[in-house]
């Protein structure tokens, strides 16, 4: 069964494929499905934005569609950048600059107050009247400098058990990450649904 991921982010696509292909889904990118929609993500929550994206792709191609909206919520910044993670300092700003700016905002903040969590909301539209939603989170902290050369986005500055997301292998990251948690919930629901 084909499932279109509402993203052009190749890193996200890899994570979706690693978890959903083993249960029999052919996971396609928007481009592979011939979809070029780019809806405005004007929701006030991760879940609202995920639903906006999944519905837009579903309506454009008629195939089941799945979307993720995720971001970094930093305790000392009252949850910022949160739902604005991708747009923090502007969407066209290089991620390295965003990471450096976030670290600068936390200058002088001691380790015990550098708590943060990555949050992922996933919406899967199987049919107009069959929508599945799940969320996942990973709690950690913000480091003092970017570490590692894997991952993407804020991964180099998000620390879990002494290592950044960027220092983890794909399998290690999937096991603990916000998107991994949410995708496993989706995996279980879809596995159960299609067994029936």
| Nearest to 155, CA basis, from 70, 45, 69 | 70
Starting from the edge strand earliest in sequence, which strands make up the sheet with 130-142, in order?
26-29, 2-5, 65-74, 115-127, 130-142, 158-160, 163-164
In whole angstroms, give the CA distance from residue 80 to residue 75.
Answer: 8
- Contact at 8 Å (CB) between 67 and 122? yes
Catalytic residue among 68, 69, 161, 188: 69
Question: 3-class SS at 1?
Answer: coil
Residue 134 has a CB neighbour count (10 Å cut-off) of 20
Q: Is 69 a catalytic residue?
A: yes
| Nearest to 38, CA basis, from 61, 69, 8, 11 | 8
CA quadruple 15, 49, 147, 150: dihedral, nearest 10: 20
| Nearest to 117, CA basis, from 187, 46, 33 | 46
Catalytic residues: 69
């Amino acid at each position: 069964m084909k499932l279109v991921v509402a993203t052009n982010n190749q890193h996200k696509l890899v994570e979706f494929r690693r978890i959903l292909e083993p249960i029999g889904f052919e996971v396609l990118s928007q481009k592979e499905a011939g979809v070029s929609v780019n809806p405005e993500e004007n929701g006030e929550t991760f879940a609202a934005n995920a639903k906006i994206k999944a519905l837009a792709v579903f309506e454009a191609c008629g195939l089941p569609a799945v979307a993720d909206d995720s971001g970094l919520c930093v305790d000392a910044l009252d949850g910022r950048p949160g739902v604005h993670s991708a747009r923090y300092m502007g969407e066209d700003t290089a991620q390295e600059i965003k990471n450096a700016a976030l670290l600068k905002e936390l200058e002088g903040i001691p380790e015990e107050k550098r708590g943060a969590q990555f949050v992922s909301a996933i919406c899967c539209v199987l049919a107009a009247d069959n929508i599945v939603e799940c969320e996942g989170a990973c709690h950690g902290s913000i480091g003092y400098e970017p570490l590692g050369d894997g991952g993407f986005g804020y991964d180099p500055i998000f620390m879990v058990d002494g290592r950044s997301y960027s220092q983890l292998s794909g399998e290690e990251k999937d096991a603990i990450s916000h998107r991994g948690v949410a995708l496993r919930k989706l995996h279980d629901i879809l596995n159960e649904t299609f067994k029936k």
